[in-house]
Chains A and B, each alone.
Chain A
């Protein structure tokens, strides 16, 4: 039985925070070494260590929660707060790039021709692929909600179907965006337009990939019966993150693709 007089989780000692910190060190110094000495070894080492850290740390959390029952109501509440705070920090991250975009686009300098889009820039038509991308992400928001309700109602088949559909839509977005990047008439080096466009949409695309991965892990867990109809916070966290990614896209679309054209 429990040998603790409280409902919280005193986590066993773990090496993953140390390996994660080491990975951060290797990635930052690796980046600097790459810039100056043109060798990627240290950076790759850091990325590999990061990947291993994430896999093992989150694997341990699944073991502690699903298999050992440590995720009591107060623990789950803490996890919820944690995810909300993390997503909030990501909101601020993107806020910075939107600030940069609006700073440059609301008062375009003479070097740009005093106009936005700057002289010589052919912006993407917002009513072509970008609009399709918007529809794809909005649809994926619907399917992830469908998946959630399926889980809560105990419907395994539909939960798996809806989650799979969500992930496929995520991949479709990534593929479309990759094609757009390849075909676009401007690059990241094309003035402040290129910078703001590719940094903002690029980080968003990275978050789509992260979100799709998170959902894919949830799909694997759902198939392996980890989630119950009442307790499935890993899935909820993935769904929150996915909705956040969707909302960021909507702001990107309206600001950069539409207004910015």
Chain B
């Protein structure tokens, strides 16, 4: 049963990340197969990023695992832009330049500085933007 569960993508992903399947049988009971964490060096011999990544590559990898994107590598999330659901703008300092494309395909981008504190509104379309500073 466990073996069937591990045959899928999750099983492969776990095996890639240093988990290994170990079967044990205690006297009198049936076979028990469970996952044990080994370093990939122990099974295949090639390390994984999990084990060996270093520096800023590692920092980014670990941040992305928790859903964070400290260097804005991904597309910004979509928000309604209303007072209750403002556009969240992450920043490394207490202000950041925002360029608002008020309507799709607008060629005139509305640029303004977004400061720490209360949400500000785009001077053209009124969409709400909220700065969220976070320091490394």
Contacts and interface: CB of A to CB of B under 8 A. Distances in A.
A69 B53 contact: yes
Contact of A5 (B43, B54, B60, B92): B92
B46 A5 contact: no
A222 to B, nearest CB: 8
A144 to B, nearest CB: 16
Contact of B60 (A72, A155, A227): A72
Given A4-B56, A67-B54, A69-B53, A227 B46 contact: yes
Contacts of A6: 71
Interface string B6-25: 00000000001000000000
A109 B51 CA distance: 65
Interface in B47-64: 47-49, 51-60
- The A interface, classified by DSSP as helix, strand, loop or mixed, is loop
Interface string A2-33: 11111100000000000000000000000000
B48 A229 contact: yes
B43 A154 contact: yes
B44 A73 contact: no
Contacts of A227: 46
B58 to A, nearest CB: 6
Interface residues of B, number: 23
B56 A70 contact: yes
B46 A7 contact: no
B6 to A, nearest CB: 15
Given A6-B71, A228-B51, A155 B44 contact: yes
A1 interface: yes
B40 interface: yes
A6 B52 CA distance: 22
A159 B45 CA distance: 10
A156 B44 contact: yes
A5 B71 contact: yes
Contacts of B56: 2, 4, 7, 69-70, 72
Contact of A228 (B52, B55, B73, B136): B52
A217 B54 CA distance: 22
A159 B46 contact: yes
A231 B71 contact: no
A229 B55 contact: no
A231 B53 contact: yes
Contact of A154 (B40, B58, B92, B136): B40
A64 to B, nearest CB: 9
A154 B71 contact: no
Contacts of B46: 151, 154-156, 159, 225, 227-229
Given A5-B136, A7-B73, A154-B44, A231 B49 contact: yes
A162 to B, nearest CB: 13
Contacts of A70: 55-57
Given A4-B56, A154-B45, A73 B73 contact: yes
A74 interface: yes
A3 B44 CA distance: 35
A90 interface: no
Contacts of B57: 69-72, 231
19 contacts: A1-B59, A1-B136, A2-B56, A2-B59, A2-B136, A6-B71, A7-B60, A7-B71, A7-B73, A69-B53, A70-B55, A72-B71, A154-B16, A155-B44, A225-B47, A228-B47, A229-B46, A229-B47, A230-B49
Interface of B: 16, 40, 43-49, 51-60, 71, 73, 92, 136
Interface of A: 1-7, 67-74, 151, 153-157, 159, 225, 227-231
